[in-house]
Amino acid sequence: MNYDTLRIETTDLVATVTLDRPEKRNAISPRMVVELLAGLEEIEAGPTRVGIITGAGRAFCAGMDLDGLRSMATQSPQQNIEDSRRMAEMFYRVYSFPKPLIAAVNGPAIAGGCGIATLADFTLAAPEARLGYTEVKIGFLPALVSVFLRRQVGEKIARDLLLSGRIVEAPEALRLGLVTEVVSADRLLGRARELAGTLMASSPTSILRTKRLMLHSEQAALLADIETAIQENAAIRSTADFREGLSSFLEKRAPKWTGR
């Protein structure tokens, strides 16, 4: 496949996926969703043993791009469900990928970008990285990421991050459990490759089966929660607060919430 929004490079059985829209801070577009799913399929089918996901330029991923946000306001309910399902498929694919995945978070990872960063098996972050789920600030709903976040960091921390929409610096993200390790920017990819080497010293069959076992223990509940989140993600797009939050965000003004 020819990729427009990302690059894949393979060296010594390690595949590095670089989100490659630096002029858009690597924001998620519908094309990127399709390409990331295809890229992960390519990595799974090939001989590579470990995957690394990082961002081009100064950001890891700024979340949904502006064109995608604009389109949400005009889509039909069925289109919103289909769009939500594609996003859920992308997040679940990262979370359930059978080979080890390492996120090398080189800069801001916001909203859906934070989801990609934290759903990898290991999340390495540069000190410049900032992470957060900011959806409530624009009248949206962090529905899909909430399913995974509660399982990763617990109910209380998830409520803090999702309800406040606050952005945390890398050291706090490490303390909260969003990040595995904070690494200087000049060592970030080197450390990711070093970690990949450590993983490749173990049995690939053992790692595959370990990941599968951890997923299996709660898969039914996880998939049920994802389906509920898909419906909620689509439904909020028809609310007045979402339309106002989106307009105010695009117009760079304070929102005027109505609670509807």
Q: Identify the band that residue 187 occupies on the pLDDT scale cut at 50, 70 and 90.
A: very high
**Mean pLDDT confidence for 83-93:** 97
Residue 67 has pLDDT above 90, yes or no: no
**Mean pLDDT confidence for 157-171:** 98
Distance of alpha carbon 210 from alpha carbon 205, whole angstroms: 8
DSSP 46: S
Per-residue pLDDT at 253:
95
What predicted TM-score, i.e. pTM, was given to this entire model? 0.96
Q: Identify the band that residue 248 occupies on the pLDDT scale cut at 50, 70 and 90.
A: very high
164 within domain boundaries: yes
Secondary structure of residue 131 in the 3-state scheme: strand
The per-residue pLDDT for range 208-237, each reduced to its tens digit, is 999 999 999 889 999 999 999 999 999 999
Amino acid making up residue 160:
D
225 within domain boundaries: no
89 is catalytic: no
φ/ψ of residue 105, rounded to 5: -90, 100
34 within domain boundaries: yes
**Mean pLDDT confidence for 33-49:** 97
Q: Other C-beta atoms within 10 Å of 216: how many? A: 9
Distance of alpha carbon 103 from alpha carbon 211, whole angstroms: 17
Which one of 44, 89, 135, 251 is the catalytic residue? 135
Looking at the structure of the chain, the number of domains it has is 1
Within 56-119, strands assigned E span 101-105, 109-110
CATH of the domain at 168: 3.90.226.10
Per-residue pLDDT at 73:
79
241 within domain boundaries: no
| Domain hosting residue 97, numbered range | 6-200
Task: Record the tokens describing residue 222, joined without a space.
Answer: 């996880």
Distance of alpha carbon 126 from alpha carbon 123, whole angstroms: 10
Distance of alpha carbon 68 from alpha carbon 74, whole angstroms: 11
**Mean pLDDT confidence for 33-57:** 98
252 within domain boundaries: no
Per-residue pLDDT at 189:
98
119 within domain boundaries: yes
Residue 84 has pLDDT above 90, yes or no: yes
237 within domain boundaries: no
Q: Which residue has the tokens 């109910």?
A: 155
216 within domain boundaries: no
Per-residue pLDDT at 70:
84
Inter-residue contact 5 to 21 (CB < 8 Å)? yes
